[in-house]
Chains A and B, each alone.
Chain A
Amino acid sequence: DAGITQSPRHKVTETGTPVTLRCHQTENHRYMYWYRQDPGHGLRLIHYSYGVKDTDKGEVSDGYSVSRSKTEDFLLTLESATSSQTSVYFCASLRVGGDGYTFGSGTRLTVV
């Protein structure tokens, strides 16, 4: 699945600082998603995008914002990081008419 990459792979940041995670896909997929993965909770949707400049909130969007200025890039920003946002973040993409997501490799974020 080299068609979708996330950066950085690991990050440690301090409480209160802004953090931006990047997802880049070369598949020309229309739909993109940000999920967080926590023990006991599975994968929970943070935000998603139906296309350039077309985004919407998922079930756990508080404290997060996103932007999609190009088809290939979907950015997730933690406006002021908190310890509860320590998690593994996965980006995913989906083509029009497709079913199963393509996932990125994940970003492990630790907020101290």
Chain B
Amino acid sequence: GENVEQHPSTLSVQEGDSAVIKCTYSDSASNYFPWYKQELGKRPQLIIDIRSNVGEKKDQRIAVTLNKTAKHFSLHITETQPEDSAVYFCAVKRDFGNEKLTFGTGTRLTIIP
């Protein structure tokens, strides 16, 4: 089955600095790569996603980059703010007929004021 590795497991950055979280995957047929943010005691929420025909996608301060050849993708958060503190999960999925997300193990991001 699919294997997704996520690094680092914990990350602390100064407010205003950038944060980068990386995931690698094993299944070359994976075609959909979302990132979820989970605040303490809450449900995971989709924050950004990318498909394999796109190399980069941005939404304000967050961006996701994909390298399908190397089978890795990354979440970039710029100008970090205290409200960015949360656990972030990457995930992968094939298209159609296999509608299951496989998640990474999560990264606890702490923004230091």
Contacts and interface: CB of A to CB of B under 8 A. Distances in A.
A42 B107 CA distance: 9
B44 A90 contact: yes
A52 interface: no
- For A42, A45, A58, the residue with the greatest tally of chain B CB atoms inside 10 Å of its CB is A42
Interface string A34-67: 0100001111110010100000001100000000
Contact of B89 (A43, A48, A94, A104): A43
Nearest to B6: A42
A42 B37 CA distance: 12
Q: Which bucket holds chain B's interface residue count? A: 20 to 34
Contacts, number: 45
A106 B89 CA distance: 16
26 contacts: A33-B100, A33-B101, A40-B105, A41-B105, A42-B89, A42-B104, A42-B105, A43-B44, A43-B89, A43-B103, A45-B100, A45-B101, A45-B102, A48-B100, A94-B99, A99-B32, A99-B34, A99-B49, A100-B46, A100-B49, A101-B46, A103-B43, A103-B44, A103-B45, A104-B43, A105-B43
Interface of A: 1, 31, 33, 35, 40-45, 48, 50, 58-59, 90, 94, 99-101, 103-106
Given A43-B44, A99-B34, 17 more contacts: A31-B99, A33-B100, A40-B9, A40-B105, A42-B103, A43-B89, A43-B103, A45-B100, A48-B100, A90-B44, A94-B99, A99-B93, A101-B44, A101-B46, A101-B101, A103-B43, A105-B42
Interface of B: 1, 6, 9, 32, 34, 42-46, 49, 89, 93, 99-106
